[in-house]
Chain A
Amino acid sequence: MSEMLFKFAVLLLAAIIVVPLAKKLKLGSVLGYLVAGVVIGPYVLGLLGTGDQAALLHFSEFGVVMMLFLIGLELKPSFLWKLRVPILGMGGLQMVITTLVIAGVAMLFGLPWQSGLVIGMVLGLSSTAIIIQTLSEKGLLSGRAGRSAFSVLLFQDIAVIPILAILPLLAVGGIVDGAHDFSEDGQIAYWMSQQPGYLQFLITLSAIAVVIVLGRLLSSQVFRLIARTGIRDIFTATALFLVISVALLMEAVGLSAALGTFLAGVMLADSEYRHEVELSIEPFKGILLGLFFISVGASLDFDLFMNKPLLIAALVVILVVVKWIVLYGLAASFRLNNSQRLLFASVMAQGGEFAFVLFAFASQNSVLSTELTDLLILVVIISMLVTPLMMLALEAIERSKSISSQPMQRDYDDIDEHNDVIIAGYGRFNQIIGRLLIANGHKCTILDSNPEVIDMLRRFGQKVFYGDATRPDLLHAAGAEHAKILVIGLKNREQIDLLIETARKYFPHLKIIVRAFDRVHAYHLIEQKVDHFQREQVSSALELGEKALVELGYHPYTAHRQARIFKQYDEDMLQELYKTWAKNPHNSLLTKPGDQYVSHSRELQATMEKVMRTDRYNRKLTVEHDHAWEPVPDEQIKVDKNEVKVGTAKAEKEADTTTPLDHSKTDSPAAAADGDEGKTET
């Protein structure tokens, strides 16, 4: 136990030291991990024995599985369908051409065609982990090159299955029956291998069906139940369980676990629990992927390398160059622009992690000799190390050409649901905001933490994600980086404060719009300088109050204006009162407000009443002396007959020029505003 923990600590420490360093040097985390692996590996510090890294590799391959699950989560089935052409076209062509070329090269080295074909197929695969990690770190995953890379990787994952099937057939020397020891893979796999072909096929199909049904129908129910308990750990456990069990199931029936979990992810992509599941898995994925890269680095066999340095270097160069040229040509024929082609070819020109498994499998099946597979695995590892370096070179070239990376970063939004608006909390208040925005064609990412609300809204055809918006990672997952507005309507004040603080800290560009509960809450929001707030009941109460005025005999337009004046005055009053409140704040209307606040409030209230009633009085007068419609002509104005030829409007002289009203008595704008009320009514 303690020895395992020690090794684990060493791994983590290596990562902690090297990865930030690599990032600082702009080398990307992948290279950092790989180098960290080399350093603690058996040939440098020797903190990891030769046996360890193989076991570690096996364990941490699970990081790749989780990564594919997360990628699946980001992809809706409809989007996947859109990718079918590049997946089949680019992916298929890449595999076929690369396989044939590498097989040709292998035969030049004097290998039989069967071995050449095997090597070609296995080396044709690229490293999902390195590519996706590198691209997503640079934000290039959703660009055209990124999507093409993704399509090709997806095809490769699928291609592993037939490769596994073909391998035993290519055994040199003609041993056709599988020599692979299935007992290693567990009893189910062993049992599977004993079954006739059609049954295997059926079982495989039904396993996929299980994943689809599980992801599509059952998981939402389960997550809903778990969410209702409100225990986050159990939610995380459920998400982890889902991924692990799908991976196990897939491996048992002989499919790639990564592919299986990818499928499960796609099935969950439409679920309202997507963001929360993503968050639960993300940290595990990160650490496991890191461990994976470290163990790849640690498995670098220095002894072997020292024996034949030139041969190995030559092989690495051949591998990378062949793959690069094929990929570049492919990108060109699929009409990627030049910088996209370079990126696509450079990031994908390496051997993949599947090579470790497949080469081991091939040597077990006596398709390839053990020495040869050791050599090839070393070549693959070094080619992986080369990728981040090539990316660096590529960046240097791009910079020297002074072409901004802008065109490479286009095409966001396609994979992710990145909307302009994030709505946190979807209660009765924010629903109205949301409906208004949606009705105007603005998609909103809506978050709520009440499963009942989510359930109910689903029935009305609205998409709401489950999650606690106050977590920065959830905001991130909801696309806060690309959003413009955050609308907050959470149920409790502490949470609102927390969310404002979080958003300000991590996503300062977001405009923050908050529903305020009451006046005191509004003061808090003034203090936090949110962009806009609105007390939840003021407007609707005013509208209803307006109807009451109408019932009391007011003309509807007068009632409306009175309500509108009240609103303006009330808002001014809020800002005024805030100053007094800030000197001696009280935190709810129930706690006792300070004396000064009370007297200031009474004073303002009295002024408002005076203003509104004075206006009523004024209106009676203005009706009698309404000058605005046909004003008294000024003696100084001479009507120039030549100036206006048509329809000379002569203002009639108004006999009555009674003393005008003294508007200055009431000095607020609201008062002045109502001074014209009578005119408007006549």
Chain B
Amino acid sequence: MPKKVLCLFAHPALHVSRVHARWREIAEAADHVTLNDLYAHYPDDFIDIAREQTLLRAHDVILMQFPLYWFSTPGILKNWQDVVLEYGFAFGEGEQALKGKYFGVVTSTGGRDYMYARGQGYRFAIRDYLLPIESMAKICGMKYIPPFVLHNSHQIDDEKFDLHTRNYRFYLDSLSSIQQHYGGWRDAVNVNSSLFNSKEETDE
């Protein structure tokens, strides 16, 4: 059985998006991916908890996809965690609905990749910035997949963007058999480097 992927998509300004607008279409077109556009469903930030929990139960891999806003997720994803991952549903006593599922992040940054190299630039890698989310996944008993990230999203040229887009599609496809790849991915700083070592180029 191919794993079913739930993509929690959060982009509050999709009309100006380059990366995620395109990727969103790819995710939407993939059969094994359910795209859950949070800002579209909850334009006033009022999240339907029952609906979200039902979706979570029905999928094996949970993705959060968003542009990095202030080194973190856009607001609605934080709200989503706060209200959906309830005690008694996601953790604690009672149902542990997410246990054993996989959890990953797809994100993009405005800064170039060296800004997100450990010890340089902003001093931390994307995986470091996303520690709260990683911890959230652990608490819920999920297996954390290192982030899939695109840097320099504003200036990256079309050719590189196309390459990243192909990689993104490949990443989504390989999620359907994530259990085979997980061991190799688990410790990477980001999925890109481990999955596409040969293809990975630096963005100059």
Chain A positions within 8 Å of B, measured between CB atoms, are 561, 564, 568, 627-628, 631-634, 636-637, 642-649, 651, 657, 659-661, 663, 669, 672-673, 675-676, 679-680
Which of chain A's residues have a CB closer than 8 A to the CB of B138?
A: 637
- Asked if B121 CB lies within 8 Å of chain A CBs, one says no
A564 touches B186 (CB 8 A): no
B93 and A657 contacting across the interface, CB-CB below 8 Å: yes
Cβ of A669: which chain B residues have Cβ within 8 Å of it? 48-51
Q: A647-B131, A669-B51 are in contact. Are A628 and B141 (CB under 8 A)?
A: no
Q: Does B88 contact A (CB under 8 A)?
A: yes
CB-contact partner of A628 in B44, B49, B85, B128, under 8 A? B85
A interface footprint on B72-104 (CB within 8 Å = 1, 0 otherwise)? 000000000011011110011110100000000
Contact with B44, one of A564, A632, A634 (Cβ below 8 angstroms): A564
CB closest chain-A residue, reference B135: A649
When A627-B92, A643-B186, A644-B134 are in contact, do A673 and B47 touch as well, CB less than 8 Å? yes
**Chain A residue with Cβ nearest B139:** A631
Which residues of chain B come closer than 8 Å to A672, judged between CB atoms?
49-50, 86
Contact across chains for B92 and A631 when beta carbons are under 8 A apart: yes
Contact of A646 among B46, B51, B118 (CB under 8 A): B118
By the criterion CB–CB under 8 Å, are B83 and A676 in contact? yes
Total chain B interface residues with beta-carbon distance under 8 A: 32
Known pairs A627-B92, A660-B94; A676 contacts B86 (CB<8 A) = yes
Separation of A582 and B88 alpha carbons in the complex (Å): 40
Q: Which residue numbers of B lie inside 8 Å of A, CB to CB?
A: 44, 46-51, 82-83, 85-88, 91-94, 96, 118, 124-125, 127-128, 131-132, 134-135, 138-139, 141, 186-187
Contact (Cβ within 8 A) A642 B187: yes
**Complex interface: chain B residues within 8 A of A627 (CB):** 87, 91-92
**Complex Cα spacing A660 to B48, Å:** 21
Closest chain A CB from B26 CB (angstroms)? 27
- Whether A676 and B46, one on each chain, are in contact in the complex, defined by CB atoms closer than 8 angstroms, is no
Contact: A651 with B139, CB < 8 Å? yes
CB of B85, distance to nearest CB on chain A (Å): 7
When the two chains form their complex, are residues A634 and B83 in contact, meaning their CB atoms are under 8 A apart? Answer: no
- B88 surroundings in chain A (CB, below 8 A): 660-661, 663
Q: Which 7 A-B pairs have the closest CB atoms?
A: A669-B50, A627-B87, A660-B88, A676-B83, A646-B128, A672-B49, A564-B46
Structural contact, B187 and A637, CB atoms closer than 8 A: no
Q: How far is the CB of B180 from chain A (nearest CB, A)?
A: 20
Given contacts A631-B91, A643-B186, A679 and B82 within 8 Å (CB-CB): yes
A564 to B86, CA, bound (A): 20
Q: Give the complex CA separation of A521 and B93 in angstroms.
A: 47
Q: With the chains together, A561 CA to B87 CA distance in Å?
A: 20
Q: Is the CB of B49 within 8 A of A673?
A: yes
Q: Give bound CA distance, A648 to B85, whole Å.
A: 22
Cα–Cα distance between A646 and B134 once the two chains are bound (Å) = 12
Q: Can you list 23 A-B contacts with CB-CB less than 8 angstroms, sorted by A residue number?
A: A564-B46, A627-B91, A628-B82, A634-B96, A634-B139, A637-B139, A644-B131, A644-B134, A646-B118, A646-B131, A647-B128, A649-B132, A660-B87, A660-B92, A660-B93, A661-B87, A663-B86, A669-B49, A669-B50, A673-B49, A676-B83, A679-B82, A680-B82
- Residues of B within 8 Å of A647, CB to CB, are 128, 131
Taking a contact as CB atoms under 8 Å apart, the answer to whether B135 and A651 are in contact is: yes
Complex formed: what's the CA distance from A651 to B141 in Å? Answer: 14
Q: With a CB–CB cut-off of 8 A, which chain B residues contact A646? A: 118, 124-125, 128, 131
Identity of the chain B residue whose Cβ is nearest the Cβ of A639 in the assembled complex: B138
Other than the known A636-B141, A660-B94, A669-B49, what 10 A-B pairs have Cβ atoms closer than 8 Å?
Answer: A628-B86, A631-B87, A631-B92, A643-B187, A644-B127, A646-B118, A649-B135, A663-B86, A669-B50, A676-B83
A89 to B55, alpha carbons, bound, how many Å? 66
- Give, as a whole number of angstroms, the nearest-CB distance from B54 to chain A: 10
Could you tell me if B91 and A632 are in contact, using CB atoms closer than 8 angstroms?
yes
The chain B residue sitting closest to A632, CB to CB, is: B92
Chain B nearest CB from A643 CB (Å) reads 6
Name the residue of chain A whose CB is nearest to the CB of B44: A564
* CB <8 Å contact, A633 and B139: yes
CB distance from B199 to the nearest CB of A (A): 25
